[in-house]
Amino acid sequence: MPALFAAALLFAATGVPPGQDFSARVTQGKLAEADVTGPAYQKQLWGKINNPTTMALKGCLASNAPADKSPFTLVADIQADGRPARIEVLPPTPVATCMAGQFATWMLPVPPAKPAPYPIEIDFSIVP
């Protein structure tokens, strides 16, 4: 019983079910993208964030010069109203952390109803 209580406290404190790590969230995002509603949502999402993502990434690179241009992955849950939540990046370089902060301020297209919240993952690779 104490372990169950501790797990409940962990979930309440972080919003993350116990044992759900970054790689599991990446997998959830990929599964959602491959689902029946995934391609249509990806088209809407990138139609809205393509230019803002490019501009934000350029700003993050410039504000962290000399910037670490290592690839990174961003995961987030998109709430029913289109607001991103539980945004994480790995590795948490200054550029990746900057992008997470930018992403947190955006209003995204309303996601499909299931799964809720809607998981996404974005792989960033900076080509010189």
pLDDT at 127 over 60: yes
- Domain region containing 96: 20-124
pLDDT at 13 over 50: no
Q: Compute the average pLDDT of residues 64-91.
A: 97
Domain count, the chain: 1
The model carries a pTM of 0.82
pLDDT-derived band at 20 (thresholds 50, 70, 90) equals low
Please tell me which residue, 14 or 64, carries the higher pLDDT value: 64
Mean pLDDT, rounded, of the chain: 88
Please indicate, yes or no, if residue 89 is contained in any of the structural domains.
yes
Q: CA torsion 12→18→21→24, rounded to 10°?
A: -110
pLDDT at 7 over 70: no
Q: Compute the average pLDDT of residues 37-52.
A: 97
Q: Say which residues have a Cβ less than 8 Å from residue 121's Cβ, sequence separation at least 6.
A: 25, 26, 28, 29, 30, 33, 73, 74, 75
Q: Compute the average pLDDT of residues 13-42.
A: 84
d(CA 17, CA 12): 9
Residue 54: the pLDDT is: 96
pLDDT-derived band at 33 (thresholds 50, 70, 90) equals very high
d(CA 53, CA 44): 14
Please indicate, yes or no, if residue 115 is contained in any of the structural domains.
yes
pLDDT at 73 over 50: yes
Please indicate, yes or no, if residue 3 is contained in any of the structural domains.
no
Please indicate, yes or no, if residue 14 is contained in any of the structural domains.
no
Residue 126: the pLDDT is: 87
Please indicate, yes or no, if residue 10 is contained in any of the structural domains.
no
Please indicate, yes or no, if residue 4 is contained in any of the structural domains.
no
